[in-house]
Structure 1
Amino acid sequence: MKTQALVSSALAAALSLGFVAQAQAQDKAKEKCFGIAKAGQNDCANLSGSHACAGLNKVDNGVDEWKYVAKGSCKSAGGTTLEEAKAKMKK
């Protein structure tokens, strides 16, 4: 019985490594896009530091709020890069 549990645990660990690698590959195919997140739909902390978690933005399309989008699609969605967002915030 102990052998079966050990084998099951080892198999589960090996399978989970495959899922982690797949998730990392998907993350590399994404980029942060600023200024397109609807209220409550941001992916993480904003640039201004008024909140530190996903889903906490209060306005649509805030310059300092961001979402992950497919790499290369930010401009067509009407968004900006990190550098552009920082420059807009300074104005």
Structure 2
Amino acid sequence: MKTSLMLSSALAAVIGCASVGNAIAGPSAEEMKSMEKCYGVAKAGQNDCAANGHACAGQAAKDMDKSEWKAVKKGTCEKMHGSLMAPKP
């Protein structure tokens, strides 16, 4: 009984990690064709890719950081008070 419970728990953990990984992976290349990178609109933990010395999506440390970007539908970035241009280093 203990062995089957441990195996079930391990399987649930693996499935959970896989689904979380897909959620923070960001938009696919196909989805990006109808989207644009919008800097300064991502909330903490909701950025779409690397910036500020971290490796990838979901690692923004603060809300609305000008160096972090999020993919948004084309034509909506400036309405959200974001920028289509990355800040100068």
| Secondary structure at the counterpart of residue 53 of structure 1 | coil
| Secondary structure at the counterpart of residue 42 of structure 2 | coil
Which segments of 5 or more consecutive residues in structure 1 lack a partner in the other structure? 1-22
Q: Which contiguous aligned blocks of 4+ residues in structure 1 show a shift greater than 3 angstroms?
A: none
Q: Distance in 1 between matches of 2:49 and 2:61?
A: 13
Partner letter of residue 69 of structure 1? Answer: V
Matched with 1:74 is 77
CA RMSD of aligned residues (A): 1.5
Which segments of 5 or more consecutive residues in structure 2 lack a partner in the other structure? 1-28
The aligned runs of 1:35-74 (5 Å cut-off) are: 35-46=40-51, 48=52, 50-74=53-77
Q: CA deviation at 1:52?
A: 1.5
Q: CA deviation at 1:27?
A: 2.0
Q: CA deviation at 1:86?
A: 2.2
Number of aligned residue pairs: 61
Task: Name the larger-Rg structure.
Answer: 1
Larger helix proportion of the pair: 1
Matched with 2:16 is none
TM value normalised by structure 2: 0.62
State percent identity of aligned pairs.
49
TM value normalised by structure 1: 0.61
Matched with 1:28 is 33
